[in-house]
Amino acid sequence: MAELKSWRDLPAGGRVSPATAPQPRTGGWRTGLVPEVELSACVNCLLCWLYCPDSAVNLDGTTFTGFDYDYCKGCEVCAEVCPTGAITMAEERP
Amino acid sequence: VKELLTGGEAVAHAMRQIDPDVVPVYPITPQTPIIQGFAKFVANGRAHAELIDVESEHSAMSAAIGSALAGARTITATSSQGLALMAEVVYIAASMRAPIVMAVGNRALSGPINIHCDHSDSMLIRDSGVVQLFAENAQEAYDLMVVAPRIAEHPDVLLPVLVCLDGFTITHAAEPVELIADDDVRFFVGDYDLPHPMLDVGEPSSHGPFAMPDHYFELRRQQAAALDFVQVALAGAADAFELLTSRRLHALEEYRLDDANCAIVALGSTAGTVKDTIDELREEGKQVGLLRICSFRPFPAVEVAAALAGIETVIVLDRADSPGGTPPLHAEVAATLYGSGCELRGHVYGLGGRDLHPEDIREIFASDQGAYVGVRGEECPA
């Protein structure tokens, strides 16, 4: 987390320039289950990537590699749209 | 050139000469002559603004925020219920630091419904963080409109500036008004140069973000500092304006105050009547004077205290009440005079357009009026 600025240093009216906000790891808001993937069953259709509302599906180029749990909220959409059952929801490991 | 103009017409001329890019506005008495006059200038090709017929004053100020922050010089105008409906968005304009100029034809708030002058509409948004300058007459309303963009758009200000002119007394009464040459006004206000316009595709930015408890207070503090800086920006703009016109605009005006032992403090057109009465009383040997406040927000507290130093009796005239409390100008002056030892009285006068006559002012000086001036049934102090 970046240090909070004094009122003198904040842009007038709280104007926000692109890519200046600290990136909060919103995965901390996740409740319930987390997605897991069995990559040997994945056909790389990228439906999960397309549907994920939080951009929490990691790609290497155009190849699915797994989930970004720093941003995943556990909504289960990826598991729902996965046509091969490669994605399953599991208990969160502490 | 000197022309016979109502205050509303004079303000419309100032708008034509400034030639703003966008004017979102909704008609309301007694502001209507301002926008009606300006709309004629646009229709006749003498002004070039995008005139937006919005569906309400709430929308007028919303559109004004968008256009001012997008990078277009924006002016609007309203009165009374219009300002009340707009109030929510006025706060947002100030917090988003939108340098909008707005003329306010001061009119009593309902109810009972009324169309005549008092200052209850402006006082409703007293704490919104906007600049509020009160004109004494049509000439000053015109002059303040011309300097308003320079104050609003100063990079250390970036706040809405409201030029307040008494409804009917100024908006509808014709006076000789000295107009500045069109080219001189254009040069005086210059180009609209917002530091970070939203439509700058080279450097895009988001305006008006949500602020949690870790930022809200800092942004409010920043807004207070910007309003404080207006005194410097106003003085600078007044210097440049004086070079152009030989007329001096002041945050506050002292009238026959030097050797006064009793002084009235007031806003707006009433100051003219008070000055005439003071002239008469001076002929009779009474040491009376006036301190007229032009800049009510920001309130020039240090200058007010200095101007009133040594005066035995200070009488504050408020054209707005604060039921259950102290009227706004009275409270402001009381705060600046705290500990000074002078006698301080306050009177509410002129609500809903009730005239204040020279005889009333004589009675006020003579302690022969109650807290509410000229109200039937009001008891005067013994």
Cβ–Cβ of A7/B222 closer than 8 Å? yes
Query: How far is residue A9 CA from its own chain's centroid?
Result: 31
Which SS3 state, helix, strand or coil, does residue B187 take? helix
Q: Answer whether residue B358 shows pLDDT above 70.
A: yes
Q: Output the six-digit token pair for A57.
A: 């599906």
Q: Side chain identity at A39, as an amino acid letter?
A: L
Helix pair angle (B216-245, B138-152), 10° resolution: 130
Cβ–Cβ of B211/A16 closer than 8 Å? no
Q: Output the six-digit token pair for B206.
A: 């988001």
pLDDT level of residue A2 (50, 70, 90 thresholds): low
Residue of A1, A15, A17, A20 to mutate when probing chain B, most B C-beta within 10 A: A15
pTM for the model: 0.88
Report pLDDT digits (tens) over B118-149. Answer: 999 999 999 999 999 999 999 999 999 999 99
* Residues in chain A within 8 Å Cβ distance of B97: 12-13, 15
Residue of A7, A10, A16 to mutate when probing chain B, most B C-beta within 10 A: A7
Helix (H) or strand (E) holding B266: strand B262-267
What's the mean pLDDT in A23-43?
90
Cα angle B374-B80-B174, degrees, rounded to a multiple of 5: 75
Residue % of chain B over a pLDDT of 70 = 100
Q: Answer whether residue A21 shows pLDDT above 80.
A: no
Report pLDDT digits (tens) over B51-95. Answer: 999 999 999 999 999 999 999 999 999 999 999 999 999 999 999
What's the mean pLDDT in B305-324?
97
Q: Side chain identity at B109, as an amino acid letter?
A: L
Report pLDDT digits (tens) over B24-55. Answer: 999 999 999 999 999 999 999 999 999 999 99
Q: Which of B196, B215, B218 minimises the CB distance to A15? A: B196
CA atoms within 13 A on the CB side of B137: 13
pLDDT level of residue B117 (50, 70, 90 thresholds): very high
Asked if A22 has any chain B CB less than 8 Å from its own CB, the reply is no
Mean pLDDT of chain B: 97
Res B53: pLDDT: 95
Asked if A16 has any chain B CB less than 8 Å from its own CB, the reply is yes
Q: What is the ipTM of this complex?
A: 0.86
Q: Which of B204, B209, B225 minimises the CB distance to A14? A: B209
